Structure 1
């Protein structure tokens, strides 16, 4: 099997890395974090100009018809530079729902705004005590005339503070944990009855807790079947998990590079600490863990396009397990080899470990996905 990138994919990789290298050093990131919503509109505009926001969409919808490999390339580059901008909630998740199940009218209304950078999205899914069960939904959407009325609460909604449009999971019928009776709805973030409480997260991103009180939306707000959308949700979340795996590889790769550079220059007893064999062994172990994560991220990328939902879910769960284990190891070793300075806000290495930690917890932690792999009988 050929794992080499095509010429177009190599050009994309060079293009993204070149853009970020010129505009996204650690000091610039600090400035972007202070802007409204915790990210830079100017950088987002550059993403749009370079076509990154339109990559996964079909040419008929104004995009470039790219696939999971191109998303992997972009997300790994975003991880390398510790990017704050809402590519995951907007392009991967928001765009994923529209791409997979949006009507022609929904695509026409929303995709141009995503592609030109004028519109961002947020996925309002997590609820109190729901943990990582995508079918555990107590927020309700009740029929009202030709439309729906949404009531409930969602928590830790990434980009929920700044998003123009919310994608909300809500129960249209049945019990709280039934697999049927779950719908997905497009809701304007400024709709009457919505209350948003924004805050920064541990990794420097921004999220919001959102309350829906009698929020009215039209019949055209439902994406796909409003009574049987759980399979759609699972497919899009698997896309998000795959993208997070790629981002984590970028984070680990940069953590390893930064740490090796540090131990080559940090001196103890008059010599660089990188000359100590035990630290060389630690760096080698970090490299192995990173490459294991890279292999599984590539596997998840291939699996994202599997037709069999069970095979896709099992492969991506296995990748998330390896990413969680490798991310924890590489992050911990990076901090250890930096010593006390690695714990300070001024050193970027700690921020990389924070983001790796948050990725491990997003859409299921290592133990959760290990249980999924085990329940599915493993990968073989």
Structure 2
């Protein structure tokens, strides 16, 4: 690759609606020291893409302020956290043998070295991402999955959705034989939670809405709870002994209603606020039952290593809802925001 080569990319230059996504032609980035250059085969979409574009994350003490995931976005920014592709060039200090390998990129930017570091930034937000023909990444974040039975499209769905799901399951200490409750089960993270919890040997109760019930059951849920009905009542029916771990991307009123349904020592893990961020609950239900409410943002490097092992063995089967071309990025994001699909939306640069 020479620096003079150009590539197509989709960037945002400001917060706003789908109209701020612009297809442009820019120079292919050069991999710096300890970086690799990846030719993108597939890039998956996430709610993060919508919220980053809209500036919907708020700030501490100012929840309505336009902001990226971790503060101001440095525009212009190429979106896209979830990349599968092939290494085509390496920077200084990187083994040339990586060239040609099929890889998945861990999109997290961490606060420290080591396996338990916390994510404090994200590719497509704090650095340029995969809505492009090529992307650079630090070599430590690049995982060789050449041998995986999964397709490039399936591999691209893993980093954010399955990484977030595995982070929740690990932080919630879900064990074989326990009962897990999954909210928002038809979404990207929700379906990943159902699949990984099932692979762990947990009994999975999943909350979703009417037309998506069959797809969620097919993904591995033992029991499906219809969101339109009495949710707490349905949970009691299917788990009369209570729930060990709630894996929740919805929050809102579900926390209020659901916390009393945890077993002694139960864990309620929250990684999203699709149902509302302003939550009230009876704190007595927390301390009298040794329950825990756990916040979970994405994954650690150790969690991501576990995820890549699952991918190499093909132990999860991501569902692809739809595919789009790069020049259809706005349509792809609008499709995502409608939430009519089950599984993940993928673009092909």
- With normalisation by structure 2, the TM-score equals 0.28
- With normalisation by structure 1, the TM-score equals 0.26
* Higher Rg of the two aligned structures: 1
